[in-house]
Chain A
Amino acid sequence: MAENVFITEETVEGEADGPLAGRTVAVKDNISTEGVRTTCGSAMLEEYVPPYDATVVERLKAAGATIVGKTNMDEFGMGSTTETSHFGPTENPVAPGRVPGGSSGGSAAAVAAGEADLALGTDTGGSIRNPAAFCGVVGIKPTYGLVSRYGLVAYANSLEQIGPLAPTVEAAAELLEVIAGVDERDATTREAEAGGDYASAADGDVEGTTVGVPTELVTGVDEGVREAFEAALDDLRDKGAETVEVSLPSVERAVAAYYVIATSEASSNLARFDGVRYGVSGGYEGNWNEAFARAREEGFGEEVKRRILLGTYALSAGYHDKYYAKAQDARAWVAQDFDAALSEADVLASPTMPVPPFERGESLDDPLQMYLADVNTVPVNLANLPAVSVPAGETDGLPVGIQFVGPAFGEREIIRVGSALA
């Protein structure tokens, strides 16, 4: 495949009947599939074959879907471009020479290139919405707790959710309906109060809907992206929606808070990769610590090491209060801000990404610049809210995405508004 969409191509047939019968689904390679290797885009797990299915994969099979492969991704979900994969970068199928976004870049590219009808990705700080925007497809980051994370190789548990990518909002909603719901194997899942039946919300009816536009999320946005975003808002107003300005002062601290929390959780989660039960072995020369350090030197790429070290630093003695505790304050502040803004509007709208797709190689030398590209998506994960990215036209032939954020378990509302555009 020219675009390097899949790490492993393998057909797993679902049960014949079900809502996804006849549909093909590509699955991000950090979601466990029984008998099919699951690498997380890492040399560490190059040979790892899970002995069980993630809950979402069980649900796909039961719904009759055919799994067509495991998609390329930034290593362990760490990156915004799908260039940190051990298996090489994925190319953006609709913008050659550009990245597909990350970390679910393979899943977004699979849908954009027609290699699969639908795909599953994961979103810790924007990793479904970012590649959806860059590849011109739809991606939903569900409310935290709506979809089981059992069988997902953990990166930052308090932030990440599995969610759908699809050509249309309705198709994404159909896939969400299949994977959503309480799972006794993931105690963080919750029953949605107004749960289920997401596809029927995709009726495009925005008459009387109030769309809040947070000023902080449209300042500093690339000119062409901004024009496409404004045109999408015009379209919604033509269809009967009303737009109002709202403010989210906390979001200026959200990216810093996000990276402190995400790297801290990553440093703890990735401690399990010691090369004893699975993964690259450090051999038996030297002691336990030396063997682990060798296995992890060999098995992890640079971005993963960088984040493990940053997280270890943020949690270490003397720095915990300065970084981790402050990040938790910022997280609570962001959640409060969203509550206030969503009391003035039904949904919030912003450009998904402040820039069009990067050229390949552009962001790799400066990690901080790459981290800052997530400025519009990470606040949503800190607040545990649902959001959808929908195509909003193009700038210079490159896709632009618009993001709609809703209240907790307000998936139907963001699906309704999103479906007015795609």
Chain B
Amino acid sequence: MSDASVDPEEVRHVAGLARVALDEEEVGRFAEQFADILAYFDTLDEVPEVDRERDLVNVMRPDEVHESLDQSAALANAPETEDGQFKGPRVS
């Protein structure tokens, strides 16, 4: 396995893309573990190119109106609601 560690800055960057906040300890631990795991993923370089023949079929159904959850059931698990709507953080 590779003994080079993944750059902690890289871990922070990916965590930012994934919208997961990490503490410093986790960043350090993940940087070390990812070096090993990604070195293992690198063995995929040895995979030959393979013809992917799949019998794929479209599955269609008529676009009909069905009963659905009512508003109160849909909102029941939300941490915050207002006037019958989900309440989320501001967008920017």
Contact = CB atoms under 8 A, between A and B. Distances in A.
Given A256-B43, A287-B89, A312-B14, A332 B52 contact: yes
Interface in A228-279: 250, 253, 255-257, 259-260, 267, 271, 274-279
Nearest to A297: B21
Contact of B22 (A49, A297, A327, A367): A297
Given A276-B88, A296-B21, 16 more contacts: A51-B69, A52-B69, A253-B46, A257-B47, A274-B88, A276-B78, A278-B77, A287-B90, A287-B91, A293-B20, A309-B30, A322-B45, A328-B52, A329-B47, A330-B47, A332-B50
B60 to A, nearest CB: 9
Interface string B57-92: 001010000000100011011111000001111111
Interface of A: 47-49, 51-52, 184, 187-188, 250, 253, 255-257, 259-260, 267, 271, 274-284, 286-294, 296-297, 300, 302, 305-306, 308-310, 312-314, 316, 322-323, 326-330, 332-333, 336, 367-368, 371
Contacts of B77: 47-49, 51, 277-279
15 contacts: A49-B76, A51-B74, A52-B69, A253-B43, A256-B41, A276-B79, A276-B86, A277-B77, A288-B91, A296-B21, A305-B22, A308-B20, A333-B47, A367-B33, A371-B37
A309 B11 contact: yes
Given A187-B59, A276-B88, A310-B34, A292 B19 contact: yes
A340 to B, nearest CB: 12
B44 interface: yes
Contact of A333 (B30, B48, B80, B92): B48
Nearest to A255: B40
B91 to A, nearest CB: 5
A371 B43 CA distance: 15
Contact of B76 (A51, A255, A309): A51
Task: Pick the most buried of A276, A314, A328, A336: most chain B CB atoms within 10 A of its CB.
Answer: A276
B50 A277 contact: no
Closest 4 CB pairs of A and B: A281-B79, A291-B89, A297-B21, A278-B77
Contacts of A288: 88-92
Secondary structure call for the A interface: helix
A259 B65 CA distance: 39
Contact of A289 (B19, B22, B73): B19
A329 B47 CA distance: 7
B82 to A, nearest CB: 11
Contacts of A49: 76-77
Nearest to B1: A368
A270 to B, nearest CB: 9
A333 B41 contact: no
B44 to A, nearest CB: 4
B18 interface: yes
A257 B50 CA distance: 14
Task: Pick the most buried of A271, A309, A327: most chain B CB atoms within 10 A of its CB.
Answer: A309
A253 B88 contact: no
Given A287-B92, A288-B91, A288-B92, A310 B37 contact: yes
Contacts of B9: none
A314 B87 CA distance: 32
B20 A309 contact: yes
B4 interface: no
Contacts of A259: 37, 41
B41 A296 contact: no
Contacts of A327: 44
B6 to A, nearest CB: 9
Nearest to B72: A51
Contacts of A250: 47
Contacts of A371: 37
Nearest to A323: B41
A50 to B, nearest CB: 8
A250 B45 CA distance: 13
Contacts of A291: 88-89
A300 B76 contact: no
A309 B15 contact: yes
Nearest to B23: A297
Nearest to A267: B18
Contacts of A47: 77
A257 B46 CA distance: 12
A407 to B, nearest CB: 14
A277 B11 contact: no
A32 B51 CA distance: 38
B73 A51 contact: yes
